[in-house]
């Protein structure tokens, strides 16, 4: 069995860190690079673009999704073009991924989800994800020093793409946030949410908390509810309340307005108000 040379793996991880890529991205790149080396069973100097193509074709034969193949493709491009600086331009076309309307909850369902969460800290995490449109990684890395509670806002530091952004804090949550900080004697450099073992929560732990609350709230297809569902709900509800796309884009930290536009299409309230032109004939 062929493995990635240690020095190459360390270079990949070092370059990911230098470019401020997320730990999840670095982990995914490392995984697919290992899979590729195991597949082609060649020393690094003998690998060609043809090997990359054969590897991606194998993934296609295994019925891997377009998004999975794209991550594998990007990992190999990152390895050869960025880390190893080899002139091996991988011009293989990316796999298309189906465009689906994002799942979101109604405001009534969000309320049921919150009310079904008995644990104070867990309830506060759910409220904060929904009220500020946070990604799960942004929630678990949020520090006390990132919050301006008296002014009603905070900052996401080093979010997706290595970007910082401003977030608005709901006035309804500020007393609860102050109570949590005081109760757990948190200092400025501490993360806002610390587990009973004194460590940061994991993404999987947050997902389990939300799924469990969704089950208790008897939300339809509760197994499909995850932290990002609340972020989708936040954006969709803002659009339904006639917030402009550029504002929602900034609040979500999207690079492109096209990404935010999916919530315009998801907004059922506005969509269902539109009448068919046949009715005016």
With CA atoms as reference, report the closest residue to 181 among 151, 153, 142, 208: 142
Model's pTM, two decimal places? 0.69
User: What number is the average pLDDT over the span 57-81?
Assistant: 86
Q: For residue range 221-232, what is the model confidence (pLDDT) as tens digits?
A: 999 899 999 998
**What whole-number distance in Å separates Cα of residue 230 and Cα of residue 219?**
13
Residue 131 has pLDDT above 70, yes or no: yes
Give the pLDDT mean for 244-255: 80
Residue 231 falls in the annotated catalytic set = yes
**197 is a catalytic site residue:** no
Of 19-28, 112-121, 263-272, give the range with the top mean pLDDT.
112-121
Indicate whether 44 and 172 sit together in one domain: no
Query: Are both 179 and 260 inside the same structural domain?
Result: yes
Residue 155 inside a domain? The answer is yes
Q: What is the CATH number of the domain that holds 125?
A: 1.10.443.10
User: Domain check: are 53 and 163 in the same one?
Assistant: no
Secondary structure (3-state) at 257: helix
CA distances from residue 91 to 80, 83, 103, 260 in whole angstroms, order as listed: 13, 17, 33, 28
141 part of a folded domain: yes
With cut-offs at 50, 70 and 90, classify the pLDDT of residue 253. Answer: confident
Active-site residue, from 112, 121, 226, 231: 231
pLDDT value for 87:
72
160 is an active site residue = yes
Of 49, 145, 200, 228, the catalytic one is: 228
Residue 232 lies in a domain: yes
168 plus 212 within the same structural domain: yes
Are both 70 and 196 inside the same structural domain? no
Q: What is the dihedral of CA 181, 157, 234, 109, to 10 degrees?
A: -40
Q: Are residues 68 and 113 in the same domain?
A: no
Is residue 58 located within the same domain as residue 141? no
Query: For residue 23, is it within any domain?
Result: yes
- 247 shares its domain with 135: yes
Average pLDDT of span 130-136: 92
Name the active-site residue from 112, 122, 135, 237. 135
CA proximity to 53, closest of 18, 88, 84: 88
DSSP lists the bridge partners of residue 191 as: 143
Provide the residue range defining the domain that includes 48.
6-83
Q: What is the CATH number of the domain that holds 28?
A: 1.10.150.130
* Mean pLDDT for the stretch of residues 248-271: 69
Is residue 93 in a domain? no
77 is catalytic: no
Task: Report the distance separating Cα 150 and Cα 230, nearest Å.
Answer: 25
β-sheet bridge partners, residue 154 = 147, 167
232 in catalytic set:
no
Is the pLDDT score of 275 beyond 60?
A: no
Chain-centre distance of CA 157, in angstroms?
14
* Count of domains forming the chain: 2
**Rounded to 5 degrees, what are φ and ψ at 19?**
-85, 5
More confident residue, 269 or 123: 123
Across the chain, mean pLDDT equals 84
226 catalytic, yes or no? no
- Mean pLDDT computed over 39-55: 85
Does the residue 153 lie in any domain? yes
Question: Is there a single domain that holds both residue 222 and residue 123?
Answer: yes
Catalytic one among 64, 143, 160, 200? Answer: 160
pLDDT on residue 1: 44
Q: 127 and 19 in one domain? A: no
Q: Are 171 and 74 within one domain?
A: no
């Amino acid at each position: 069995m062929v493995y990635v040379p240690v020095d190459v793996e360390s270079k990949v991880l070092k370059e990911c860190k230098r470019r401020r890529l997320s730990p999840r991205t670095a982990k995914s790149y490392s995984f697919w690079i290992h899979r590729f080396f195991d597949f082609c069973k060649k020393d690094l100097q003998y690998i060609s673009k043809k090997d990359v193509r054969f590897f991606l074709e194998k993934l296609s034969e295994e019925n891997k999704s377009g998004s999975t193949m794209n991550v594998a493709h990007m990992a190999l491009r990152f390895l050869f073009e960025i880390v190893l600086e080899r002139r091996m331009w991988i011009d293989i076309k990316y796999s298309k991924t189906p465009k689906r309307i994002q799942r979101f909850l109604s405001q009534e369902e969000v309320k049921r989800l919150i009310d079904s969460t008995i644990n104070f800290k867990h309830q506060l995490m759910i409220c904060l994800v929904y009220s500020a449109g946070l990604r799960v990684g942004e929630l678990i890395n949020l520090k006390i020093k990132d919050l301006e509670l008296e002014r009603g806002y905070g900052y996401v530091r080093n979010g997706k793409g290595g970007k910082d952004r401003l977030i608005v804090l709901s006035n309804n949550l500020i007393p609860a946030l102050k109570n949590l900080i005081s109760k757990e004697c948190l200092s400025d450099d501490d993360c806002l949410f610390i587990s009973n073992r004194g460590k940061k929560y994991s993404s999987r732990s947050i997902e389990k908390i939300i799924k469990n609350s969704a089950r208790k709230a008897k939300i339809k297809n509760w197994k499909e509810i995850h932290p990002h569902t609340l972020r989708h709900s936040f954006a969709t509800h803002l659009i339904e309340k006639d917030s402009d796309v550029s504002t929602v884009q900034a609040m979500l930290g999207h690079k492109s307005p096209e990404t935010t536009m999916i919530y315009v299409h998801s907004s059922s309230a506005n969509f269902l108000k539109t009448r068919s032109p046949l009715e005016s004939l």
